[in-house]
Amino acid sequence: MKANFSYSQVTEKTIEDLISVFGGSGVSVDKEKVAAYSKDEVAVHLWDKNYEAEVVCFAENAEQISALMKYANRHRIPVTPRGAGTGLSGGAVPAYRGIELSLERMNRILELDAANLTMTVEPGVVTAEINKTAAAANLMYAGDPCSGDASFIGGNVAENAGGNKVVKYGATGNHVLGMEVVLPDGSISWFGGKRRKDVTGYDFVHLMTGSEGTLGIITKIILRLLPSYSFAADLLVPFDSVKRAIDAVPAVITKGKTIPCSIEFMDKCSMMLTEQYLRTKFPFSHEAEAHLILQFEGNDRESLADEIEKIGDICMEEGALEVFVADNRTTRDKLWKGRKSAAEAVWSYAPTQIANEDIVIPASEIAVFMEGLEKISRADSVKYAAYGHVGDGNMHVTLYVEEENKNWREIIEKARRDMYDMVKRLGGTLTGEHGVGLKRLMYAPQFLDAAQVELIRRVKLAFDPNNILNPGKIVPWT
Ligand SMILES: Cc1cc2nc3c(=O)[nH]c(=O)nc-3n(C[C@H](O)[C@H](O)[C@H](O)COP(=O)(O)OP(=O)(O)OC[C@H]3O[C@@H](n4cnc5c(N)ncnc54)[C@H](O)[C@@H]3O)c2cc1C
């Protein structure tokens, strides 16, 4: 199936028309601003060209977005939605220039409905605000991406963001009950609602979730809340081998008869780079080859203490070097600051010669994957740091070349391809939570069969026949 990729340029008349929709303060052609809003967290030097929108618009409500989409269709100008720009796949990068649509001004928490255990929010609310607002009402919003202090909930839904609590509570999509969406033709529709069940028609809520801003613009979201817990504790568990650390994960779940709310992994390289980046020290950072971080929560302090003691014993039986308990605010914050800073720490060490990966495989294959990664690293002469949500089988691998090397792109590309072949063999896929976006689209066909690639194109064009909304993403089109 073919799509239109020929678009009109933004002219002075377009800017006048956009100002009539968004007002003077809702439209910017300022060069620096446009450049800043045309980026996400994918390093600009990794792109093959300079992707830059022609104008940025700041929406305040769904009606403005509806008017924009009708106008964009009439004049064939592409529109790229943007949340906080913390994305790691170029989803908010305007592949065909046009209009960048910022949702940052739609940032209100509209309602907390304790009776229905829901919160209704606009897309520009920062994720951590939602966590805090729910907690203040003794409730919990279980979405917890490492970028939660910066990312917006609309971006989380559009990416079906994962994070640190997926192993127990599921990814963002598990917490979305309904949404208001401006469709690419400008119509405004509600999918789902404050209902726990709904089989009236297709499940558009979960088609939109993870659609990376290509099928519609999410303008309101109804989130599912859970009862809160009273106490939480984390374990930091160093191991002298990566395999032993990974093998301990199923033991914790089956022998411990529990699913921790987080099971995170950091290899030695990412732990040491994080220490260096934060100028701090974590136990056994030099002696251990890998650390697990396990989080538990409960309503009774003593039974929580019993549970973590039991899990600690299991970890020691599985070969842990030691078990460190973080059960007060200061030590817990320090530990999670470390885990949540791993990405920046690794990138800041090797900023130019890298590839950041988000592969996901069946959790039982992670140890095999890590052994294979070590072999690829030696054979292809690349270094790597690996950390991630090991309980979900989701690993973030940063492949990098340490020495200044003009062939770094080819070297890393070879290692990346070798790694993807292994991921495919192990029953895994390209991205677990960061999305395909622009960054990974050429690799998508390796993991999706031809029928699926075609179906993705048909679904996209069924929603967006003129290919106006965030075109050129998810699968190759040309
Ligand atoms: C340090 C760091 C740590 C991270 N940790 C995690 C993690 O643990 N788990 C995880 O899953 N991700 C993580 N990420 C990636 C990123 O934070 C998530 O993908 C996040 O969901 C993006 O949200 P955003 O608001 O920044 O979206 P943006 O980057 O602005 O946009 C992302 C995509 O969503 C679309 N979009 C945004 N808003 C809307 C809307 N209202 N309607 C329709 N489409 C929209 C955009 O078009 C784009 O395709 C991390 C990123 C960084 C930098």
Question: 331: domain CATH number?
Answer: 3.30.70.2190
Q: Nearest to residue 5, comparing CAs of 90, 81, 100, 98? A: 98
| pLDDT, position 360 | 98
Residue 444: which residues within 8 A CB-CB, separation 6 or more?
430, 436, 453, 474, 475, 476
Q: How far apart, in Å, are the Cα atoms of 260 and each of 121, 168, 325, 328, 387?
A: 28, 7, 14, 18, 18
**Do residues 121 and 222 both lie within one domain?**
yes
**Please, which residues bridge with residue 325 across strands?**
235
Owning domain of residue 141: 109-227
Q: How far apart, in Å, are the Cα atoms of 371 and each of 126, 241, 245, 358, 374?
A: 38, 11, 13, 17, 5
**Is residue 354's pLDDT more than 90?**
no
**Do residues 313 and 345 both lie within one domain?**
yes
Distance in Å, CA 463 to ligand 1 centroid: 22
**Do residues 189 and 241 both lie within one domain?**
no
Alpha helices (runs of H) in 257-300, residue ranges in sequence order: 268-278
pLDDT band at 1 (very low <50, low <70, confident <90, very high): confident
Boundary-marking domain end, from 327, 349, 371: 349
Q: How far, rounded to the nearest angstrom, does the alpha carbon of residue 389 sit from its chain's CA centroid?
A: 12
**Do residues 153 and 181 both lie within one domain?**
yes
| pLDDT, position 350 | 80
> Residue 407 is part of a domain; what is its CATH number?
3.30.70.2740
Boundary-marking domain end, from 328, 349, 370: 349
Q: Nearest to residue 398, comparing CAs of 363, 348, 323? A: 348
Tell whether 99 is covered by a domain: no
The closest residue, in CA terms, to atom 2 on ligand 1 is 147
Residue 139 or residue 404, greater confidence = 139
**Do residues 123 and 197 both lie within one domain?**
yes
Tell whether 128 is covered by a domain: yes
Residue 30: which residues within 8 A CB-CB, separation 6 or more?
none
444-465: average pLDDT: 97
What per-residue string of b and e applies to 114-133 under the rule 16 or more CB within 10 Å gives b?
eebbbbbbbbbbbbbbbbeb
The CA-based dihedral angle spanning residues 134, 140, 141, 142, taken in that order and rounded to the nearest 10 degrees: 160
Tell whether 66 is covered by a domain: no
**Can you tell me the distance from the alpha carbon of 60 to that of 458, in angstroms, rounded to the nearest whole number?**
31
**Do residues 236 and 271 both lie within one domain?**
yes
Residues touching ligand 1 (Cβ under 6 Å) are 40-41, 80-88, 91-92, 103, 123, 145-147, 151-152, 154-156, 158-159, 161-163, 212-213, 217-218, 343-344, 433-434, 437, 470
The closest residue, in CA terms, to atom 35 on ligand 1 is 213
172's tokens: 């963002």
**Do residues 291 and 354 both lie within one domain?**
no
**Can you tell me the distance from the alpha carbon of 78 to that of 76, in angstroms, rounded to the nearest whole number?**
7
Ligand 1 nearest atom to the CA of residue 470, by list position: 47
- The structural domain count of the chain equals 3
**Can you tell me the distance from the alpha carbon of 361 to that of 447, in angstroms, rounded to the nearest whole number?**
12
Tell whether 375 is covered by a domain: yes
Tell whether 83 is covered by a domain: no
**Can you tell me the distance from the alpha carbon of 127 to that of 7, in angstroms, rounded to the nearest whole number?**
34
**Strand 188-192 versus strand 139-140 pairing type:** unpaired
**Do residues 333 and 395 both lie within one domain?**
no
Mean pLDDT of the chain: 96
**Among 86, 89, 191, residue to substitute to test ligand 1 (most atoms within 8 Å of Cβ):** 86
Task: Tell me if residue 356 falls in helix, strand or coil.
Answer: strand
**Strand 99-102 versus strand 55-58 pairing type:** parallel
**Can you tell me the distance from the alpha carbon of 76 to that of 155, in angstroms, rounded to the nearest whole number?**
25
> Residue 122 is part of a domain; what is its CATH number?
3.30.465.10
**Do residues 393 and 329 both lie within one domain?**
no
**Do residues 211 and 234 both lie within one domain?**
no
pLDDT band at 405 (very low <50, low <70, confident <90, very high): confident
**Is residue 403's pLDDT more than 90?**
no
| pLDDT, position 353 | 80
**Do residues 172 and 182 both lie within one domain?**
yes
pLDDT band at 332 (very low <50, low <70, confident <90, very high): very high
Within 13 Å, how many C-alpha atoms sit on residue 259's CB side? 11
**Can you tell me the distance from the alpha carbon of 258 to that of 310, in angstroms, rounded to the nearest whole number?**
11
The closest residue, in CA terms, to atom 5 on ligand 1 is 146
Radius of gyration (C-alpha) of the chain in whole angstroms: 23
Q: What is the pLDDT of residues 222-258, one digit of tens each?
A: 999 999 999 999 999 999 999 999 999 999 999 999 9
